Chain A
Amino acid sequence: MTDLAFYTLSALAIWSGWRVFRVDSMIRATFALMVSFIAVGGIALLMSAEFIGVATVFMMAVEMMVMALFMVMFMMNPAGLNPMRMVHQYGLSIGAGFAAFVGLTVAVLTTNLPNNPLPAGRDTLRDLGIELLGQSMLIFETAGVTLLATMVGAVVLSSRGGRFGDTNEGAVPPGLHPGGAPAGRKVETGGGHGGHGGHGAHAGHDMIMEDADVKDVDTHQSHDEAETDEPAAANDEHAGHTHHTATSDPTSDKIAPGDPHKTHGTEH
């Protein structure tokens, strides 16, 4: 039973650790790493390290949440849903990974691992506390102060007065030529149907259609009904639109020229 739990948790730890490098989003990678650490915490529980095992779960949940937040803050990919490549510097990382694997394997195989079962009724929690605040106090306090300094540094980096000036100024891209106006898309002012879907909406709509036909039928019934009135030969979407306004159908006002559902209907 314990063996089964150990192998399951080990497999989960290795699989989710591998997923960290295969997924295409920072958030997914972060929480895959968290699952890996939680599985390791479960293995610690199996070894009767009740405090270390549970504390690992606790710490990793908080730590990965904060890490995800900081990564998103620094990487300017606010949702983390945009696909991005999570691996780079292949040569170096392959070398480092290989060296680490060989080193750890040699260390595990050559170490004389202890094999002394815990005596029944031994209070490991008390032992751990005495160790932490006794002989190893200096080590842990040093690590603690170092981590605190790192945290203060991270907060300073992410605060308003950053390296590139005050963030209240707004994140304006540099000009195309020295001293020029900021590059990039200008925000369009004025109403109209500007935000009502372009090519991105077409692609997304087609993608969702594959697995959510039911939803589409329900929510866009008014569009579908409107389209059945249309002449079947209305290949030109503009023509279709004018047809609607001519008949002064109340639903036609809601159908914009670039409406993705309508184009979808006319394509077939």
Chain B
Amino acid sequence: MNFVLVLPAMIAALALGIWVAAILDATCRSLVAGQGRMSLTAAAPLRAAASYMSRQRLTTEAPDRMNWFLSIASYLALAAIGLAMVPLGPNTAVIGISTSVVLWGACESLVVVVVFLHGWSPNSPLALIGAYRYVAIGLPVMLLSMFVLIAAALPARSLDLREIVTSQAGMWNVLRQPLGLPLFLFLGLSLTLRGPFDYADSADLAGGTSVEDSGADRAGWQVARLAMLVGFSAMAATVFLGGYLGPVLPGAVWLILKTLAVMAVVIALSHLLARMPVARMLGLIWKVLLPLSFVDLLWAGLAALP
């Protein structure tokens, strides 16, 4: 496919994905709260965005304006880069690089930096606490995703996402490496600052790193979070659910369906799982989840032996 065609299509898909994610999130929240399906209106996310955009931008005392703006813009950019690496068909991806899994890892680690800077730049106590908490949780969660991704790359014998998809023609990685997808979903919750892994922007800090965001900044940060959810869901669908592979329907449709399924699961998890204090969560990650990811890697390595 032509690059000139694929890039606008990807941007349109990202925008559409953000909109769908916002609606799913609002629906799930009202369902969990027992309010029925009241908030399922298609225009609600757009109205909320317009309302934020039309408000003035407040600022704090002596903020770091450049890093504040850059953190929001980079978060969105990292989400777009993640989505651009997803293969749309055999040998077709907007960013076709032979080490795309490592590039996704770089995106994950830069997300930790970006969220930290977003909390650090406003020069505000609650935002700063959110930033430091997120680094403590975000770094080990990223570590476990590295092991899970290396395990997924082993059967393909390649660090290229396109090869990883082709290697799943016989059996999807979600069945071949049953520990992989659940562990990777935890990374998704952490990357998108959701539910039990949201130590950056949670309500116990009155909004954490985004407590000082207002006007267009706030709209931008929330859009970037949802964009990261879209990018992550497409990545999870590619690495574990066979990406564009599927019978009858064209590959792109399969990819979109699987992405939406992963997105729905992540949103449901973010509303259903219980939150934990930071120390207990750190214990869970280092003592339970990381060893589980070692088991996953060992399992995949033994299975991939010739």
Closest B residue to A217 by CB, please name it. Answer: B56
User: A211 CA to B67 CA in the complex, in Å?
Assistant: 17
A147 to chain B: closest CB distance in Å? 15
Say which residue of A31, A50, A80, A204 sits within 8 Å of B113 (CB atoms).
A31
Identify which of B98, B105, B117, B120 contacts A58 (C-beta below 8 A). Answer: B105
Other-chain contact of B59, A55, A57, A78, A215 (Cβ < 8 Å)? A215
- For B143, the closest partner residue in chain A by CB is A62
Cβ-neighbour of B99 out of A28, A64, A125, A205 (below 8 A): A125
Chain B residue numbers with a CB within 8 Å of A69 are 132, 135
Cα separation A80 to B57 with both chains bound (whole Å): 24
B209 to chain A, nearest CB (A): 13
State how many angstroms separate the Cβ of B205 from the closest Cβ of chain A: 15
- Inside 8 A of B106's CB, which chain A residues have their CB? 54-55, 57-58, 61
Report B-chain residues with C-beta under 8 Å of the C-beta of A61: 106, 109-110, 112-113
- Contact status A51-B62, CB under 8 Å: no
Does B305 sit within 8 A of A, measured CB to CB?
no
Which residues 122-158 of B sit at the A interface, judged by CB distance below 8 A? Answer: 123, 128, 132, 135, 139, 142
- Complex Cα gap A262–B135 (Å): 40
Place the interface of chain A in its size category: 20 to 34
Q: How far is the CB of B146 from chain A (nearest CB, A)?
A: 9
Task: Identify whether the interface residues of A are mostly helix, strand, loop, or mixed.
Answer: helix
Question: Which residues on the A side are within 8 Å of B62 (C-beta)?
Answer: 81, 204, 207
Tell me if B102 and A34 are in contact (CB < 8 A): no
In chain B, what residue has the closest Cβ to A63?
A: B109
B76 at the interface (CB under 8 A from A): no
Q: Is B284 an interface residue (CB 8 A)?
A: no
- Whether B128 lies near A79 (C-beta < 8 A) is yes
| Cβ A34 vs Cβ B113 within 8 A | yes
**Chain B interface helix/strand/loop/mixed:** helix
Cα–Cα, bound, A58→B103 (Å): 7
Given A51-B159, A208-B59, A215-B56, residue A65 in contact with residue B116 (CB < 8 A): yes
Residue B31 lies at the interface, judged by CB distance under 8 Å to chain A? no
Residues of A with C-beta under 8 A to B61: 204-205, 207-208
- Chain B hits for A214, CB < 8 A: 56
Q: Is the CB of B99 within 8 A of A50?
A: yes
With a cutoff of 8 Å between Cβ atoms, the chain A residues found around residue B64 in the complex are: 28, 81
CB of B190, distance to nearest CB on chain A (Å): 14
Are B123 and A58 in contact (CB-based, < 8 A)?
A: no
Which of B59, B112, B116, B120 lies in contact with A212, CB distance below 8 A? B59
Tell me the complex Cα distance, A125–B158, Å: 9
Q: CB-CB < 8 A to A208: which residues of B?
A: 59, 61
> Which residue in chain B gives the minimum CB-CB distance to A64?
B113
A58–B109 contact, CB under 8 A?
A: yes
